[in-house]
Amino acid sequence: MDFKPLSFDLKAQYDKYFAACPVKYCEYSFFSLWGWRDAALIELAFDDENNLCWVKSQNLIYGPVGSWRDNNINWRKIFEDNFNNKFELYDVPEDAANLIQNALSNATLSEERDQWEYVYSVNDLIKLKGSKFSHKRNRVRTFESSYEFDYMPLTPNDFKDVLNFQECWREHRDETMTDSEAASLLVEDKAVRTAIEYWDKFPLLGGMIKIDDKIIAYTIAEVLDENNLDIRFEKAFGEYAGSYQAINNFFLRDQGAKFKWVNREEDMGELGLREAKLSYKPEFMLKKYIIKI
């Protein structure tokens, strides 16, 4: 495989492969690769014959990206020609993993639970009906009744204020976090700045809540396709009761209602994050696997 270092010039070519994916995993959108490029050292290899693209990061191979349900793909030949039948693949989408395992009898699959993506019904998270959403619903109502606020879509005119908020939010979190956690937030902060810098190059949407003309919560989301929205960043000052639940709900009400599904990404094995994501009652998970020969 001919791997090329990730560059923005490859976006149009890569986007065609991502659009062909039968299931849209947010990990594999071009923004996901580009936003975290400094930390991941990503390379791409395009296989035009099979309409697939492979992703390499830190000498580990991920993917595939593309029309991996195509019955004409000769998986055995791909791996014989490129891997000498000895390889490991990471974050392989569930359907692709099953197809590869069926084609290669000596392939073994193992779950990457920490990398599974949480997908929710947009309609459910807007309406918050029923007992399973009672806590979330009450938190949104608490916020609405406790503060005089304004919700509005995010525009380029707000980017300076978002960056100021981001800096304050990160500094506040740094006070109570380990060095590794703070370093991870710094990487995420660079991705937020990438979203703002390349706002008009990606299908991004955003919203914010202001109190006394200051941002106290914001979200930035990426449109994956006509049915799927991905929440890339969601931040709030926790001292405002219900602020996280409010920005989640207000944004989907205002800009997410036309989508069927909202992806809230992986929990990375963080127990608190897993508990929070499960509390929103995912409709299903986008599972990923490691494949080994």
Query: b/e map of 271-286 (b: 16 or more CB within 10 Å)?
Result: eeebeebeebebeeeb
Contact 27, 117 (CB under 8 A): yes
Q: How far, in Å, are 97, 98, 271 from residue 110 at the CA level?
A: 10, 11, 20
Q: At 219, which helix (H) or strand (E)? A: strand 214-223
Sheet with 60-66: strands ordered across:
4-5, 42-47, 52-57, 60-66, 88-93, 288-292, 108-111
**The domain that contains 221 carries what CATH number?**
3.40.630.30
pLDDT tens column, 48-92 = 999 999 999 988 999 999 999 999 999 999 988 887 767 899 999
Phi, psi of 4, rounded to the nearest 5 degrees: -115, 140
What pTM, to 2 d.p., does this model score?
A: 0.95
Phi, psi of 213, rounded to the nearest 5 degrees: 65, 20
68, part of any domain: yes
> Could you list the residue range(s) of the whole structural domain that residue 212 is in?
117-265
38: confidence class by pLDDT, cuts 50, 70, 90? confident
280, part of any domain: no
Distance (Å, whole) CA 234 – CA 154 = 13
Secondary structure of residue 169 in the 3-state scheme: helix
Q: Are residues 77 and 138 in the same domain?
A: no
Q: Are residues 225 and 256 in the same domain?
A: yes
Query: b/e map of 202-238 (b: 16 or more CB within 10 Å)?
Result: bebbbbbbbeeeebbbbbbbbbbeeebbbbbbbbbbe
Query: b/e map of 2-36 (b: 16 or more CB within 10 Å)?
Result: eeeebeeebbeebeebbebbebbbbbbbbbbbbbb
Contact 277, 264 (CB under 8 A): yes
57, part of any domain: yes
Domain tally, the chain: 2
Contact 261, 122 (CB under 8 A): yes
The residue from 58, 84, 115 where one domain ends is 115
pLDDT tens column, 159-198 = 999 999 999 998 877 667 777 777 888 889 999 999 999 9
pLDDT tens column, 258-274 = 999 999 999 999 999 99
293, part of any domain: no
The residue from 115, 140, 159 where one domain ends is 115
Distance (Å, whole) CA 57 – CA 67 = 21
Q: Are residues 77 and 123 in the same domain?
A: no
Least confident of 18-22, 85-89, 240-244, 278-282: 85-89
Query: b/e map of 118-151 (b: 16 or more CB within 10 Å)?
Result: bbbbbebbbebeeeebeebbebbebbeeebebeb
